[in-house]
Chains A and B, each alone.
Chain A
Amino acid sequence: MSAVQTTTETKTGGSPPSGLSEFWFYFSRNKGAVIGLAFFLVILFVAVFAPFVAPHSPSIQNRELLLLPPVFSEGGSWGHILGTDAVGRDILSRLIYGARFSLFIGLVVVTLSVVSGVLIGLVAGYFRGRVDTAIMRVMDIILAFPSLLLALVLVAVLGPGLLNAMIAISLVNQPHFVRLTRAAVMTEKTKDYVIGSKVAGAGTLRLMFLTILPNCLAPLIVQATLAFSAAILDAAALGFLGMGAQPPTPEWGTMLAEAREFIQRAWWVVTFPGLAILITVLAINLMGDGLRDALDPKLKRS
């Protein structure tokens, strides 16, 4: 990043912009990214304050109002804006609570796969040789399976459930971070500043974590956003297949699985949970595109 900052500083002149304001300058030029960020903040807010935002409890069943249509279609009422499901639970409230699960899944999966992926990739890229070969072969093996299939089978071994789904998804996501970190470390390692610190007597750990790693972060941040949205999609897919969160958890994929049999009778039970997944994933991907534009020095010059 330091190299990038110097080029922009010379361009703008005057007082050098701080890293954050410089980042915001490029990020905000991408309108989609700003919209994505706004949506994401709303979803985050709703998830954090779910008990205050949700009009009803996500689990209370109203036996008198089964499969009530949403307010804008015939027979709907303001009491249940997005209607109710087959056992009379308020769909909007379930979606609001579901946001907690999806964001939590994304956060846990990204943390697990980034931490493990970066550590392994750093070791592989820094030490090279046999360690590197061994690590990369293991990653090739994980990548030889379709991610969803491997996650499905892992969950079959560990037992269905949200926690196991998260572990499985982290494991199948992590090779991407290993590869990315390794590639970045390999290019950085031969640069003068690294050799400089080495000559100055910096130890291995210092070189790895303090000298090299901060300069490899840009592609990792972009990949982390992509992994965040991919994790939400995969967890929902596992939930949909009945291998993720188990009913009556208001997880969006699980809600879709429960709604499948009402596909011909009650379109809203099927439509809204999927729409929630799509909007959340789309918002995060929009942010990811903006982050890439803001962090990729190649694009900045244009």
Chain B
Amino acid sequence: MLRFIVGRLAVLIPTFLGVSLIAFSFIRLLPGDPVMLMSGERVMSPERHTELMQQLGLDRPMYIQYFDYLTGLLTGDFGSSIVTKRPVLDDFLQLFPATLELSLCAIIVAIALGIPAGVLAAVKRGTWLDQSLMGVALVGYSMPIFWWGLLLIIFFSGYLGWTPVSGRISLMYFFPQVTGFMLIDSLISGQAGAFKSAVSYLILPTVVLATIPLAVIARQTRSAMLEVLGEDYVRTARAKGLSPFRVIGVHALRNAMIPVITTIGLQVGVLLAGAILTETIFSWPGIGKWMVDSVFKRDYAVVQGGLMLIAAVIMIVNLVVDLLYGWINPRIRH
């Protein structure tokens, strides 16, 4: 197991270097003068230009600039916003809990509904239940989620008036940020109605973000289950007279879960990509909306830093999933 961990970590180093190289080159590939792009000043005298160039280190050879950038990254310096001058890392840490809360809720919903739906479809293979479940799953898989979000807003916020349109919690409530998770913080604050408000704001974005992972998990669970249900040991378990519930729930599901766990791990990227759209539609103050806003504000220092940080999150999650996978399925370690 140790060798496996070390091996996975070793693969991560070149990927990290590559990702940082992309983030580093990004700002230098943009059309326009890098000094102006990085300082945010539109008009400047030649003297000021030279001064800034030295200040930003842009007068030095490219490889030294990259090396400086790398050392910066390793000491937690991801650059500062051109607009607000705040360190990118601070903004990221401030906004990340909102995205994390939304993504966690979405993946929990997706797993809680997707796995039972997939198992049910596999057990009832070929029936109308299987066909309708998989039909719905395919629609979910094909869904343009930015449109789905708008439809839900039209119906639930506009027509029924049940849920708020945008934001994280009603402005009526104010409480200190402890965990950064609105659901938990609102409970800790003890204010009446705060938790309910937080839930009402969270519900539509969660549904939107969960749609594609839910469909993918349901489809993957069904096909993994079908494969396992045809195995000899499942037939043996049945022949032994075990209850169908035990055969499916214990014997089959355990082994069918292995590919499903990989699928769930792969949803991290899907969730973060989905968060960009979901947060934009619902004005959810997370990193997805932050990145889109920064692209539009031409705050390229934030885009660069955010790119690096988001890639780092995905790399870490992938590593954890890989390790978990190796732990569950010892065959993979070799």
Which A residues are within 8 Å of any B CB, using their own CB?
A: 32, 137-138, 140-141, 143-149, 152-153, 156-157, 159, 229, 233, 236-237, 240-243, 253, 256, 260, 263-264, 267, 270-271, 273-275, 277-278, 281-282, 285-286, 289
In the assembled complex, the Cα of A268 lies from the Cα of B145 at a distance in Å of 17
Evaluate whether A289 and B138 lie within 8 angstroms (CB atoms) in the complex, with A274-B150, A281-B144 already known: yes
In the assembled complex, the Cα of A144 lies from the Cα of B30 at a distance in Å of 21
The 10 closest A-B pairs by CB, nearest first: A274-B147, A141-B18, A146-B273, A148-B273, A281-B142, A282-B142, A146-B272, A277-B144, A144-B311, A146-B269
Partner of A143, one of B14, B139, B153, B269: B269
Residues in chain A near residue B148, CB distance under 8 A: 274
Tell me, yes or no, whether B303 is within 8 Å of chain A by CB.
yes
Q: Which residues B236-287 have CB closer than 8 A to chain A?
A: 269-270, 272-273, 276-277, 280
**What are 24 residue pairs bridging A and B, where the CB atoms are less than 8 Å apart in the complex?**
A138-B18, A141-B19, A143-B269, A144-B315, A145-B269, A145-B307, A146-B314, A147-B269, A152-B295, A156-B300, A229-B142, A236-B144, A241-B292, A243-B295, A256-B147, A263-B153, A263-B154, A271-B154, A273-B147, A274-B144, A274-B151, A278-B142, A282-B138, A286-B138
In the assembled complex, the Cα of A27 lies from the Cα of B285 at a distance in Å of 46
Evaluate whether A141 and B295 lie within 8 angstroms (CB atoms) in the complex, with A263-B158, A278-B139 already known: no
Evaluate whether A149 and B310 lie within 8 angstroms (CB atoms) in the complex, with A144-B15, A157-B30, A270-B154 already known: yes
| B139 touching A153, Cβ below 8 Å | no
Residues in chain A near residue B30, CB distance under 8 A: 156-157
| A152 touching B291, Cβ below 8 Å | yes
Which B residues are within 8 Å of any A CB, using their own CB?
A: 11, 14-15, 18-19, 22, 26, 29-31, 135, 138-139, 141-144, 146-148, 150-151, 153-154, 158, 269-270, 272-273, 276-277, 280, 291-292, 295-296, 300, 303, 307, 310-311, 314-315, 318
Residues in chain A near residue B147, CB distance under 8 A: 256, 270, 273-275, 277-278
| B276 touching A152, Cβ below 8 Å | yes
In the assembled complex, the Cα of A149 lies from the Cα of B308 at a distance in Å of 11
| B296 touching A278, Cβ below 8 Å | no
| A285 touching B142, Cβ below 8 Å | yes
In the assembled complex, the Cα of A236 lies from the Cα of B146 at a distance in Å of 9
In the assembled complex, the Cα of A263 lies from the Cα of B307 at a distance in Å of 31
In the assembled complex, the Cα of A229 lies from the Cα of B96 at a distance in Å of 30
| B143 touching A256, Cβ below 8 Å | no
- Closest CB of chain A to B288's CB: distance in Å? 8
Beyond A157-B31, A270-B147, 16 extra complex contacts between A and B, CB < 8 Å: A32-B135, A141-B15, A144-B311, A144-B315, A145-B314, A146-B270, A148-B276, A153-B26, A157-B30, A236-B146, A237-B277, A242-B296, A253-B146, A256-B144, A260-B150, A271-B151
Partner of A149, one of B14, B135, B273: B273
Residues in chain B near residue A274, CB distance under 8 A: 144, 147-148, 150-151
| B311 touching A270, Cβ below 8 Å | no
Nearest A residue to B270 via CB reads A146
In the assembled complex, the Cα of A32 lies from the Cα of B137 at a distance in Å of 13
- Closest CB of chain A to B29's CB: distance in Å? 5
Residues in chain A near residue B141, CB distance under 8 A: 285
| A149 touching B154, Cβ below 8 Å | no
| A270 touching B307, Cβ below 8 Å | no
- Closest CB of chain B to A39's CB: distance in Å? 12
In the assembled complex, the Cα of A238 lies from the Cα of B100 at a distance in Å of 23
In the assembled complex, the Cα of A143 lies from the Cα of B269 at a distance in Å of 9
In the assembled complex, the Cα of A267 lies from the Cα of B147 at a distance in Å of 12
Residues in chain B near residue A260, CB distance under 8 A: 150
| B146 touching A237, Cβ below 8 Å | yes
Partner of B138, one of A149, A270, A285: A285
- Closest CB of chain A to B28's CB: distance in Å? 10
